Amino acid sequence: MTAPQYTFPPPPTSALPTADGELFPVRRVYCVGRNYADHALEMGHDPDREPPFFFQKNPQDLVVDGLFPYPARSQDVHHELELFVFLQQGGRQIDEEEALGCVWGYSLGLDMTCRDIQAEAKAKGRPWIDAKAFPRSAPVGMLQSASAIGHPTSGALELRVNGELRQRGDLNQQIWTVPEIIANLSQRFELAAGDVVMTGTPSGVGPVQRGDRIDGLIEGVGELVVTVTE
């Protein structure tokens, strides 16, 4: 069979290093909105257990070099510390009881958000893509396999900016658990190996400035250090 002829060389696959010394190829990035009750409250929303909603980032937005360039279009960029979930298989209509079998592993990372751009989009009833899916908007730590750390259901989340504690929570405070998120996502999309799920942030989100140092921690998962650059 003749090999397909591309109109130009296809772009390289986005991939992230793992603690096992391998690379995890990223296919899609799904993000869960307002998955901690205290964060829902601080954003002015009802924390009751309503069905989850989702938005997306791009595979290339996930970066591991510890640098976050402050986006020129925004004057109010906020940090959001989250548990990231990495899938090794997927499908549609996945049962909640089988969902963890799809998980390769975990890491922690940041959902950096242009809050002023997001607020403008919300006011006009428009999507959040400019506020959430801009380049390098998801710094991520080292990926850990579930075979090494298990499937964390509790553990402290802490984020500091220049040493000042900003966010503190626990994975057991999630409104929707990881199996529930995967099952719900699979009702809407066909999930597959390489998909990444960002599971939401606790309260305490706030602005960063150029030159800031961000330190993140999720107990049992890892640590992350990010510098905000020009």
186 φ/ψ angles, rounded to the nearest 5 degrees: -70, -10
Q: Is the pTM of this model over 0.85?
A: yes
- The whole-angstrom separation of Cα 4 and Cα 2 is 6
| pLDDT at residue 4, as a whole number | 84
> What is the dihedral sign for C-alpha 169, 172, 178, 180?
negative
Residues 6+ apart with CB under 8 A from 112: 68, 77, 78, 79, 80, 136, 137, 138, 139
By the 10 Å C-beta count (0-12 exposed, 13-18 middle, 19+ buried), 19 is classed as middle
Mean pLDDT by runs of 10 across the 230 residues of the chain is 88 96 98 83 64 94 98 98 98 98 98 98 95 98 98 98 98 96 97 98 96 98 98
146 φ/ψ angles, rounded to the nearest 5 degrees: -65, -25
Which domains does the chain carry?
Answer: 16-229 (3.90.850.10)
| pLDDT at residue 46, as a whole number | 62
| pLDDT at residue 2, as a whole number | 82
Q: Mind giving me the DSSP string for 2-14?
A: PPP--SSPPPPPP
Kindly provide the b/e burial profile for residues 49-65, where b requires at least 16 CB atoms within 10 angstroms of the residue's own CB. Answer: eeebeebbbbbbbbbbe
